[in-house]
Chains A and B, each alone.
Chain A
Amino acid sequence: MEAGRASIPLHASALEPMPGARGRDRSVGWLFAGTGIAVFVLMGLLGLTMRLTQAEVLSVSPAWFYRLMTLHGAGMLTGALLAAMGMLWFVLRDTVRLTLVKVLWSYALIVGGVVLVIVAVGVGGFATGWTFLSPLPFESAGEWRPWAADVFLLGLVLVGTGFLVFCLDVLMATTSAYGGVTRTLGVKFLRGRDSNPPPPAVIAASVVSIEGALASAVGTTVLVALLGRAIDSGVQIDALWAKNLTYFFGHSVANLIIYLAVGMVYVMLPHYVGRPWKTTKPVVIGWMATLVLVATAYSHHLYMDFVQPGFAQYISTTASFAAALPVAVVTIYTGMMLIWGSSYRWTLASTLLFLGFAGWAIGGSAAVIDSIIPLNFRLHNSLWVPAHFHTYLLMGVIMWILAFFAHLLESGAGRSAARMASIAGPALMLVGGYGLVAAWYVSGALGVPRRYAAHFGDTSGYSVIGSVFTVIFALGLLVVLVEFGRLALETWRRRVPAPIGDSAGEQPAGRLRPPIETPLQLTVAVAASVVAAAALLPPIVDASEVSAQFHHLAHSVYFFFGALVAVAVACTPPMFDRVRRWSYGAALAAVIVAPTLMLFAMIPSLYEEMERHEALHALYHMGLITLGVITGLGAARLGRSVGRIVFVLSVGMATMYAAGVTGG
């Protein structure tokens, strides 16, 4: 009998499905986490191939090594992001109104982006690493075809767009359910004005969504600028500007993967300890700090760019250390308090869940060390860097993804995983994973560079050791995956037809409030439009005759003008009654597509010809204003919280683009 294999006595609630998506919506958990694990296995094999090459066991050419490296980095981050998104969506589904169609759009966009990245690397030979630092995509040294850069960058635009759809939909759902950003983030609770705050998973999801929307906007801006350079070789992109935006995007996404997964942990851990994870003031303060610190810490990637303004470096080193406080003092500490003395039963899922906390703590400590500027001076781009992020991603987030999947399977099969698999699998992964990163930590401390197709000096021994431990990790993963297969078969046999329609637990959405509501706000908006048109625009237009940056800034003002007027008009009471009935999906598409098109419209070779004819020139400016109007109308439909955020982000995208792109 299948259940006879389960010799681990379980906590009373452990085999019950944890709160989350039900019925048809449960497929999101399977789809996202399953895809994430599949991508992880494939990318892991590429990682092992690279390590064996550095160990001189395999002979992979440098050209292919760097292609594999590019695919490994971009693929692993995207796979983990996808799985973490799915997990958070799954656990939130029972609390707030999320739509299956939106999350499937998000999935399709991200998977489409991954396909383009694979084509660019596999067929086109593209190999810049996932960081695509400008101008490397256009300086291939004969290694990749020009179209490969376009396809790769477009692939990442799709990934960013998919993540943005997810973030905006989650933020719409949380702020609608809890009535605005301040209440959803727990600010009112903190000020004693709300006795029933949102659960921690909702606060986490909202913070991640705001941060994710910001990261996606920044990422889209730099990616479109690079695509502009691909289309028009006359475009010049400031290297420091591109580096700032690229690392803001990459750093934020890599960080948010952890915080997305934490949202899942908030719901899963209570299920295994039989204790609630409540929203307390430290939880709220911790997440508010995280909101600020994730965005300000990214500059630690630019410590060795001495021309980066000093204040950015000082803020970054402070923020990088400070970001560890909410993690160490609130999240991990509370998790350990909940586990302590809880009659915790060590099943496969609960073991992996526990190990994830340890991976996050150890990897985070190594990250903090690397964020101290004098230490970074000797660790920058050494193997210390992959050591620390593999610790918190491989031994942290991946453990949580596997834990989540194990929970779905254990609850689906109605039994816990076999005892041998529950012990041997995690034990082998523990030894293998920490052995792998230990070899990197030692190499990094010795100054061995990362991203080398061949071993550095006489350091191949570390690569051999790392490879052996990777194989041990892979064996542990294999044990777990085989057990997953057995549990999946039993889950399939026990399946019950999913009900058609949305899952239960859906809460009615709150009343949609316009982004501009009071007469005072309306007056400010109109005044801002008038100031933009009458005071700001003329000097900017004058300056645009001699500077491409001011030329683009003038275009940004047209866009801003259109967006602001549209928001103001759409928010007047009679108009907003109509606006609120517009399609939510169309509004979401409008606020994502229109600002992106606006950036493309600022590629010099696309507009220069038009600017030679007065009528076409005017038409072009009308086009920019129209894109602003579309964005503004979409923002109005998305309401007070999300509408305001996308409005600021879209105008910010235009301004950022203007600041960094010249030439043409």
Chain B
Amino acid sequence: MFVVIVIALTAAFTVVALFSRESVPLERVQEVGYRLRRGWLVFLALLGVATVGTSLFFLPYAEGTRPGETVKVTGGQFYWSMSRTSFTEGARVRFDVTSADVNHGFGLYDPRGKLLGSVQAMPGYRNRLDVTLSTPGRYLVSCLEFCGVDHHRMIRYFKVVER
């Protein structure tokens, strides 16, 4: 999606640059430009409504959705403690995440290294993340909120076994 936007913007700026050396009366530019602008506004407004509206159906927030088994997760400088580290393929898990000290980020990577999503680990708060562990293998939890000198080493693995 972003590649398409970049190509479109590059094309638009290139066209403006190419026509910049021409001499066109400002009135003529405004006449056409203002007419196009109305359509541009309508297009962007509709795109915004559609995009933001659709996105609200895919929110990652756990509350109100089907909870799975709850796993207590605590982040601390520079470790992750988890109440359980072995799951069965297809398990629906609710990660109940908090912090023992500073802010951390519970970043969950699947066995192929794809970032499934993240949730913040905050002192004094519990953030709940629902995930379906559909791929068997070794999952990685890596800190995604800067937390100090060993932030990049704050990792933890857990496994998902085949059903």
Q: Chain A's nearest CB lies how many Å from the CB of B14?
A: 9
- Alpha-carbon distance A63/B153, docked complex (angstroms): 13
Q: Is A453 an interface residue (CB 8 A)?
A: yes
Q: Contact between B125 and A441 (Cβ–Cβ < 8 Å)?
A: no
Q: Contact between A337 and B122 (Cβ–Cβ < 8 Å)?
A: no
Interface string of A605-638 (1 = CB under 8 A from B): 0000000000000000000000000000000000
Q: Is A419 an interface residue (CB 8 A)?
A: no
Q: Which residues of A contact B63 (CB under 8 A)?
A: 306
Q: Is A501 an interface residue (CB 8 A)?
A: no
In the complex, the chain A residue whose C-beta lies closest to that of B122 is A239
Q: Contact between B55 and A378 (Cβ–Cβ < 8 Å)?
A: no
Q: Contact between A354 and B17 (Cβ–Cβ < 8 Å)?
A: yes
Interface string of B20-32 (1 = CB under 8 A from A): 1111111011100
Q: Contact between A239 and B125 (Cβ–Cβ < 8 Å)?
A: yes
In the complex, the chain A residue whose C-beta lies closest to that of B76 is A139
- Enumerate B100-138 residues with CB–CB distance to A below 8 Å: 101-103, 105, 107, 109, 113-120, 122-129
Q: Contact between B44 and A135 (Cβ–Cβ < 8 Å)?
A: no
Q: Contact between A243 and B103 (Cβ–Cβ < 8 Å)?
A: yes
Q: Chain B's nearest CB lies how many Å from the CB of A478?
A: 24
Q: Chain A's nearest CB lies how many Å from the CB of B160?
A: 18
Q: Indicate the size class of the contact surface on chain B.
A: 35 or more
Q: Contact between B59 and A374 (Cβ–Cβ < 8 Å)?
A: yes
- Alpha-carbon distance A289/B83, docked complex (angstroms): 47
Interface segment, one of A205-213, A362-370, A515-523: A362-370
Q: Is A340 an interface residue (CB 8 A)?
A: yes
Interface string of B28-63 (1 = CB under 8 A from A): 111001000100110011001001100110111111
Our pick among A305, A328, A361, A382 for the contact of B115 (Cβ within 8 Å) is A382
Q: Chain A's nearest CB lies how many Å from the CB of B67?
A: 14
Interface segment, one of A38-46, A82-90, A313-321: A313-321
Given known pairs A329-B40, A449-B107, the reply for A339 and B123 (CB within 8 Å) is: no
Q: Contact between B124 and A128 (Cβ–Cβ < 8 Å)?
A: no
Interface segment, one of A162-170, A171-179, A341-349, A570-578: A341-349
Given known pairs A307-B127, A310-B61, A380-B105, the reply for A141 and B149 (CB within 8 Å) is: yes
A-B contact count (CB 8 A): 207
Q: Which residues of A contact B1 (CB under 8 A)?
A: 369
Our pick among B28, B122, B147 for the contact of A305 (Cβ within 8 Å) is B122
- Alpha-carbon distance A341/B22, docked complex (angstroms): 4
Q: Chain A's nearest CB lies how many Å from the CB of B147?
A: 7
In the complex, the chain A residue whose C-beta lies closest to that of B20 is A344
In the complex, the chain A residue whose C-beta lies closest to that of B123 is A239
Q: Contact between B114 and A447 (Cβ–Cβ < 8 Å)?
A: yes
Our pick among A143, A325, A378 for the contact of B41 (Cβ within 8 Å) is A325
Our pick among B33, B117, B126, B128 for the contact of A378 (Cβ within 8 Å) is B117
Q: Contact between B148 and A141 (Cβ–Cβ < 8 Å)?
A: yes
Q: Which residues of B contact A243 (CB under 8 A)?
A: 103, 122
Q: Which residues of A contact B61 (CB under 8 A)?
A: 306, 310, 313
Our pick among B28, B55, B102 for the contact of A139 (Cβ within 8 Å) is B102
- Enumerate A125-147 residues with CB–CB distance to B below 8 Å: 127-129, 131, 133, 135-136, 139-141, 143
Interface string of A372-384 (1 = CB under 8 A from B): 1111011011100
Q: Contact between B44 and A325 (Cβ–Cβ < 8 Å)?
A: yes
Our pick among A62, A135, A328, A344 for the contact of B123 (Cβ within 8 Å) is A135
Q: Contact between A373 and B60 (Cβ–Cβ < 8 Å)?
A: yes
Q: Which residues of A contact B148 (CB under 8 A)?
A: 66, 127, 136, 139-141, 143
Q: Is A648 an interface residue (CB 8 A)?
A: no
Q: Which residues of B contact A380 (CB under 8 A)?
A: 105, 118, 144
Q: Chain B's nearest CB lies how many Å from the CB of A65?
A: 9
- Alpha-carbon distance A339/B19, docked complex (angstroms): 8
Q: Is A187 an interface residue (CB 8 A)?
A: no
Q: Contact between B44 and A374 (Cβ–Cβ < 8 Å)?
A: no
Q: Which residues of B contact A240 (CB under 8 A)?
A: 122, 124-125
Q: Chain B's nearest CB lies how many Å from the CB of A133?
A: 5
In the complex, the chain B residue whose C-beta lies closest to that of A344 is B20
Q: Which residues of A contact B89 (CB under 8 A)?
A: none
- Alpha-carbon distance A310/B56, docked complex (angstroms): 11
Interface string of A449-475 (1 = CB under 8 A from B): 101111011000000000000000000
Q: Chain B's nearest CB lies how many Å from the CB of A220?
A: 21
- Alpha-carbon distance A321/B51, docked complex (angstroms): 9
Q: Contact between A357 and B59 (Cβ–Cβ < 8 Å)?
A: no
Q: Contact between A451 and B151 (Cβ–Cβ < 8 Å)?
A: yes
Q: Is A533 an interface residue (CB 8 A)?
A: no
Q: Contact between B118 and A381 (Cβ–Cβ < 8 Å)?
A: yes
Q: Contact between B2 and A369 (Cβ–Cβ < 8 Å)?
A: yes
Q: Contact between A136 and B147 (Cβ–Cβ < 8 Å)?
A: yes
- Alpha-carbon distance A377/B16, docked complex (angstroms): 36
Q: Which residues of A contact B25 (CB under 8 A)?
A: 341
- Alpha-carbon distance A321/B46, docked complex (angstroms): 11
Q: List 8 A-B contacts (CB under 8 A).
A: A139-B148, A302-B120, A304-B105, A305-B122, A317-B55, A354-B20, A373-B60, A446-B115
**Chain B residues close to A by CB (< 8 Å):** 1-2, 5-6, 9-10, 12-13, 16-17, 19-26, 28-30, 33, 37, 40-41, 44-45, 48, 51-52, 55-56, 58-63, 77-78, 101-103, 105, 107, 109, 113-120, 122-129, 142-152
For the complex of A and B, 10 pairs with smallest distance between CB atoms:
A341-B24, A447-B115, A344-B20, A374-B58, A452-B152, A306-B127, A337-B33, A381-B144, A377-B117, A321-B48
